[in-house]
Copies of this chain bind each other. A is one copy, B any other.
């Protein structure tokens, strides 16, 4: 049977929230559609299905599916308990803690890991015997370590 037809246009508030999250997400280097999906869930009173998102945001099913996948991975979105019919419905996890945690784990840590292995490789080079170069490489390592130390602090402060 046919549900409430999903033609409801986007409200002014929704538009502003979408713009807010598109921007925020771009700063973090994620695609804008991901920000829009999260934004719409964030400002929605009820959980939304993939269909709902696709029709309201006027994006393709493919984008919607991929965007939701990323948001699930980040832990920014969760399936709603309500399982009416065969669709799955999503709602935003609107806790800064979850968002920051997911971003750190999936977007930041991997880069720090890769930085670590690059530094390890630098130490094996002949140039590393030169004091200027070794000093510079070790400075990079100090930076890397400090970045790693800051993350839990960040998480603690933001995730209250």
Contacts and interface: CB of A to CB of B under 8 A. Distances in A.
Interface of A: 11-13, 16-17, 19-20, 23-24, 26-27, 29, 42-43, 45, 94, 96, 107-108, 111, 114-115, 118-119, 121-122, 125, 127-128, 132-133, 136-137, 139-140, 143, 146-147, 149-150, 153-154, 157-158, 160
Is chain A's binding surface mostly helix, strand, loop or mixed?
Answer: helix
A23 B127 contact: no
A4 B114 CA distance: 36
Contacts of A42: 136
10 contacts: A11-B127, A13-B122, A13-B128, A13-B133, A16-B125, A20-B118, A23-B114, A96-B143, A96-B146, A153-B153
